Amino acid sequence: MSVAYSPDRRQVASGSSDHTVRIWDTQTGEQVGQPLQGHIHWVTSVAYSPDGRHVASGSSDHTVRIWDTQTGEQVGQPLQGHTNSVRSVGYSPDGRLVYGSGDHTVRIWDTQTGVQVGQPLQGHTSVVTSVAYSPDGRHVASGSWDHTVRIWDTQTGVQVGQPLQGHTDYVESVAYSPDGRYVASGSWDRTVRIWDTQTGAQVGQPLQGHTYWVVSVAYSPDGRHVASGAYDNTVRIWEAQTGEQVGQPLQGHTDRVQSSGGHIGDHLDQISYAHSPNNHFCFINPQGWLCYSEENSPDPSLILWIPPDFRHGFSDSRQILTIPADAFNFAVQVDWAEFAYGSNWTQVWNEEGN
């Protein structure tokens, strides 16, 4: 239901509906230690502390728990106070913890003392689905099912300006740009919107292209691009300045792309961007052939027949690792250097008969 990279990119933490948090080695794909157990309901959100020593997890059991990444032990008691599911957790640069809940509030906790900082941040009129600290830690952005994004002063607990309004359906995800000047938001209205944090104004037009709910957004490290994941099974990349979509949608998922919570999506009949010898647009047809042509071509050329066990992971050459490694859609890497197909098939035979 949620994944997060460690600051050094050597590990990934995942939270699941099986009530556990697990830590994975990004080089080997192997699980590190035992599952982190303690939650008694779905784990909806996970986040690493800035120093990588701890992982925080939010759950539908109304609590947040902090885990020692070296020992796997829970640190202190669960952080309690919310009266509904904790939907999103995030760390500040100095290690404070913020989370949003189905009880319509945002709360900030001092992770050293385990004490809530000030009063709950109140203003949303529905479920708070996503929270994010600004890079300088002075502000928190929150998205809600009340269709708004709100920005809060972390020192005073006061809302900064008016709610950021424009979305026409639930807001599911918010993210700050690296310089803190902008906030991106994704919504069930199928759009991504970018907001100026100084003026509260929407920047440009909504980023449109997704055909179903947008439930996850993230900025690139240089702030030039915004990535969005949606229930249309795609990830899209956008130019942050122009709002233009960069290239084609990143396809290959066989279920809806989400960051936390959600419903099970319909299975895709075909993979619409599988890797080919030169990364040309291609697809896997119902008979299992990788086809080097447009998906709707009346007579697609056949490149390679793919065994059934490999088809789910044969989605995109940019996929380098699947966790766990034995997942049904495990990543398949292909070396095309010596592959001959089409009119070049004769290259597999030389004059010596080899």
Taking only the tens of pLDDT, the chain with its 354 residues reads 688 889 998 888 988 889 999 998 888 888 899 999 999 999 999 999 999 999 999 999 999 999 999 999 999 999 988 889 999 999 999 999 999 999 999 999 998 888 899 999 999 999 999 999 999 999 999 999 999 999 999 999 999 999 999 999 999 999 999 999 999 999 999 999 999 999 999 999 999 998 889 988 989 888 999 988 888 877 788 999 999 888 766 555 444 445 433 322 222 233 334 455 665 666 777 788 887 655 445 566 777 788 877 776 665 555 556 666 666 566 666 777 777 766 666 665 666 655
CA distance 253 to 255: 5
Give the whole-angstrom CA distance, residue 11 versus residue 56.
14
**pLDDT value at residue 83:** 87
139: left (phi over 0), alpha (psi -120 to 50) or beta: beta
Residue corresponding to tokens 């939907």: 87
Residue 257: per-residue pLDDT: 44
What are the residue ranges spanned by the domains of the chain? 2-239, 269-354
Asked whether 11 and 25 are in contact (CB, 8 A), the reply is yes
pLDDT number for residue 113? 86
SS3 content of the chain, % helix, strand, coil (to 5): 5, 35, 60
In this structure, CATH architecture of domain 2-239 = 7 Propeller (2.130)
Phi, psi of 48 (to 5 degrees): -90, 145
**How far from 189 is each of 106, 151, 232, CA to CA, in Å?**
23, 21, 13
- pLDDT of amino acid 262: 31
Q: How far apart are the first and last CA of the chain?
A: 52
Amino acid 93: pLDDT: 93
Chain position carrying tokens 């933490």: 13
